[in-house]
Amino acid sequence: MRLKDKVCVITGGAAGIGKATAHKFAKEGATVVICDRSTAEIGAEVECAAQEGLDIAGYELDVVDRASVNRVLEEILKRCGRIDVLVNNAGITRDARLQRMTEQQFDEVIDVNLKGVFNCTQTVASVMVEQGAGVVLNASSVVGLHGNFGQTNYAASKFAVLGMTKTWARELGPKGVRVNAVCPGFIETEMLKTMPEKVLDGLKRASWMGRLGSPAEIASVYAFLASDDASFVNGAVIEASGGLSL
User: What residues act catalytically?
Assistant: 154
- The SS3 assignment for 36 reads strand
**Buried-exposed string 132-144: b where 16+ CB fall within 10 A, e elsewhere:** ebbbbbbbbbbbb
Measured CA to CA, the distance from residue 244 to residue 185 in angstroms comes to 7
Measured CA to CA, the distance from residue 235 to residue 210 in angstroms comes to 29
Measured CA to CA, the distance from residue 130 to residue 114 in angstroms comes to 25
Measured CA to CA, the distance from residue 218 to residue 69 in angstroms comes to 25
Length of the chain: 246
